[in-house]
Every structure is written in C-alpha cells, then in structure tokens.
A and B are shown apart, each in its own frame.
Chain A
Amino acid sequence: MKINHHLSDELLLDYAAGNLTEGWSLVMATHMALCPSCRRRLSAMEGAAGALLEKVEPHDVPEDSWARMKQRLEGIRIEEVKPKPAAPQKDALVFPEPLRSYVGADLADVKWQALGLGAYHLRIETADPTTQVRLLRIPAGKPVPEHTHVGKELTLVLSGSFYDGDELFGRGDVEEADDSLLHTPKASPGEDCVCLAVTEAPLKFSSWIVRLIQPILKI
C-alpha cells in the first residue's frame, strides 16, 4: 500500500499538541495507524515540543514538592508489565484501531443505512458535539452524495478509491478540504469506495432570516 496524500503539518501540530477535538483526532489516528510516514512526522513534532519544554521558564516548585512526591512513590508498587502476546496478523481487517472500536465491527459487519442511489452511511458516535463523523460507502463510479458540507472536512479512504479531479485517493490517503475548495469526489469504477469522514457540525442559526439565506450564501 502506497499512501500519497498525507496529513498537513498544521493538523499534525494540533494533534501533537493535544488541541484537536475527538472527531478530528479519530480520523487522524486512523490514518496514522496505516501511515508510518505521518507517525514519524508526529514523533519529530513531539521532539520539538520536548525541546521547548526543556527551554521553558521553570516555575519555582514549593519547598515540600519533592518530599510529597517521594512519599507518594513509597506507596506505589510497580507491577511488572507483561508484554501482550502479539496479536495474530490479520490481513483481512479493513478498519484499524481506533476506528474499529468506535464502529464496534470491521467493514464486513457494518450496519449501513441507505442514503439513496446506492450510497450508504453510518454515523459514528463520539462525545464531541463540534464534529460529525461517519462512514460513507459510495457505489463504484458514482459521485459522493449530498456533498454540501460547511467548513472543514477530512476524508480517509479505507477501501476502494475515489478521484477528485485528476487526483486519485486510495486506501490510507486523506483529503483535507474546506468550503473554499470546490471539489467533486467520485468513486473509481469497479469497486465501491468506503471512506471515513469528519466535518464540522452544522451551526444552528437561531434567526429565520439567516436560515433562509444560508443555502444561498452556503455559510
């Protein structure tokens, strides 16, 4: 598997710093489970954070801080970490962790909901109200349905592939998009495309006039 489309530096920085909400982190971590290259970039960023930590203006710690720490350590018994037996390599798994636990199943057992025109989706529950995460299954050769998202979007291909313009996105590839980018992703012919997508949750405007003009302005 050759991944050609990776996470941007700014998204990786937000992940390394712990600044991303659950929805974005889920898609990024699932990409990184498939992508050693982004994991190496993440390590380099954490290395930069470590170097900054060394340089930070140190705080005075209270006089008794070390004494308290020492007392706590005395009460701790370190349990030997037994190395987990290496799980058998299963090539058949399509969803890596953390995604598989969120879905509660691998691709073969997903309980899809029909969107019409042969497309399916499954909402993935998170505790993050600022995003919507879902799996999408787009029929071979067809465009991605109801594609009028608001704000940022991050899509990870898990199975099959899609074209956006001339660019091909296959398993493991991510596409970052925002509303300034006009894009019309279309599944490649021959095989259904399964993607994991996170978008910003639609804003709930209270004013009826804003709701009325929202579709026109595409805000």
Chain B
Amino acid sequence: MSLDIPLEANTCHKDVPAPLRARASSVRALRVTNPNLTQTSNQILSNGEMARLLKAVASDRSIEAFEALFRFYAPRVRSFMAMKTGDRQVAEELMQETMVSVWNKAEQFDPERGNVSAWIFTIARNIRIDFYRRRRPSFDPQDPAFVTDDVPSADVAFEQVQDAALLRQAMATLPPDQLDVLKRAFFDDVSHSTIASELGLPLGTVKSRIRLAFEKLRAALEGRR
C-alpha cells in the first residue's frame, strides 16, 4: 500500500472531528497483510465505530470516514467476490461497484435494522446477483399490503442483530461442520442441496447443520433479554 494516500487524506478535509481521523489512521496502520493482525483490526473497527463512520459518510460526505471503511471492507468484499468469480479483475470491479454503492446509499443505512457488515454484505450480494443476471424478487416495506412488525421497536432492535459483537461471539462457538455449511452458502453462492452433493452428505444432514447453527445464533441473541 502506498504511503502518500493516508497522508493526503489526513491533510485535506480539516472539518472532520479528530477522533474520526485518529480512528481512520489507526485502521490504516493495521491494514498490513499479516493474517495475525486481521483479528486486531476486527476488534478495532467495532460495530459502533463502523456505524459512526458510515453516519459521517451519510451526513457529512466525509471522505476520511469512507476511506477507513474502504480500508477495512474493500479487501474483504474483494475476497468475497473472488470466491465465486475466480477472476481477480472481475472481483476488483465488483468490489468497486459495491463500495460506490455504499457511498451512494449511506443515508439509507438504518442502525436499528442491522449492523454495517450485514448491510454491506447485502449490497455485495445484490451486486453479485446482478452480475450473473439473476433476479431475486424482494418485499417492499412501502407497499400498502406490507404487514409491519407490531413488536415494540426496542424489542425489534434487540432481535435485529444490532449488537454484532454478540453474533461474532456466537459464530466463534459454532462447530466447524456447521460453520463450513454457512460459509459455503454465503460465499460460494450455492444452494443447500448443492452443498450436500459437494460434501457427499445426505440432504437431511446439511439441513440439520443449518438448523442447529441458526438455533444457536438465535439463542445467543435472545440471551440478551
């Protein structure tokens, strides 16, 4: 990584609050391609910090805040894209599309409804779907026939995985065989029946791994009550 970019980024846009700048540069400092440090950079960009960075992009169009998000997410989104396409050039383009979309849609992020990583995942997923010219119809919360949630919003925020740290912890306790199925589904872009045939397992085994994994994650999230 070239050194002039962080310097340049720190000297322009003086209106950015100091803590934000500090955070941005600490992320850069850790974005060294040492796998041992990946863990550390995860901890530094806590969910709350990610949400603050994204809010600074949304309200102030802060390029420093966006750069910090880019430094963290670009290598991961690129990795996500490469798993399906296997082509570095395409992975780079799809990553760039994803990050431009993050910049453009920052206002639409609602911390009540999920965390930043989940939101960026859904953007990357939709860009990958578009790239393969598939269609994925979705519900429309603006539709008059849409049935809104009548659970009080505090409770919804509870269940909406607002606290990504809790989910990360729960993910870390999943047995490897369950985690493997989730990774294959999310990253390799294959259905659970394809996963079963890839692993040479009965469909029922894959289904029960998925159910056990999500039972565990849901239990962890409900443990906050």
A41, A73, A126 pick with most chain B CB within 10 angstroms: A73
Check if B118 sits within 8 Å of A43, measured CB to CB: yes
How near does chain B come to A102, taking the closest CB pair, in angstroms?
A: 7
Closest chain A residue to B95, Cβ basis: A61
Check if A53 sits within 8 Å of B139, measured CB to CB: no
Which of A87-95, A139-147, A160-168, A211-219 is found at the contact surface with chain B?
A87-95
Q: Is B107 an interface residue (CB 8 A)?
A: yes
Residue from A69, A78, A90 in contact with B104 in the complex, judged by beta carbons closer than 8 Å: A78
Q: Is A70 an interface residue (CB 8 A)?
A: yes
Check if A54 sits within 8 Å of B76, measured CB to CB: yes
| Size of interface on B: residues with Cβ below 8 Å to A | 89
Residue from B38, B139, B207 in contact with A97 in the complex, judged by beta carbons closer than 8 Å: B139
Check if A19 sits within 8 Å of B214, measured CB to CB: no
Residue from B67, B113, B115, B126 in contact with A50 in the complex, judged by beta carbons closer than 8 Å: B115
The A-B contact count (CB < 8 A) is 246
Residue from B99, B113, B207, B210 in contact with A43 in the complex, judged by beta carbons closer than 8 Å: B113
Q: Is B61 an interface residue (CB 8 A)?
A: yes
Determine the distance from Cα of A9 to Cα of B137 in the docked complex, in whole angstroms.
19
Interface of B, secondary structure class, is: helix
| Size of interface on A: residues with Cβ below 8 Å to B | 76
Q: Is B52 an interface residue (CB 8 A)?
A: no
C-beta contact mask, B174-205 vs A, less than 8 Å → 1, else 0? 00000000110111011110000000000000
Check if A69 sits within 8 Å of B96, measured CB to CB: yes
Determine the distance from Cα of A73 to Cα of B13 in the docked complex, in whole angstroms.
15
Determine the distance from Cα of A16 to Cα of B66 in the docked complex, in whole angstroms.
26
Q: Is A182 an interface residue (CB 8 A)?
A: no
Check if B70 sits within 8 Å of A69, measured CB to CB: yes
Check if A96 sits within 8 Å of B145, measured CB to CB: yes
Cβ of A21: which chain B residues have Cβ within 8 Å of it?
Answer: 134
Check if A14 sits within 8 Å of B191, measured CB to CB: yes
Check if B104 sits within 8 Å of A66, measured CB to CB: no
**Contact A43 to B76, CB < 8 A, known contacts A50-B119, A90-B144:** no
**Would you mind naming 14 contact pairs between A and B with Cβ atoms under 8 Å apart?**
A9-B211, A20-B191, A39-B149, A40-B149, A47-B167, A50-B118, A51-B167, A53-B76, A53-B120, A53-B121, A56-B187, A59-B78, A84-B142, A102-B137
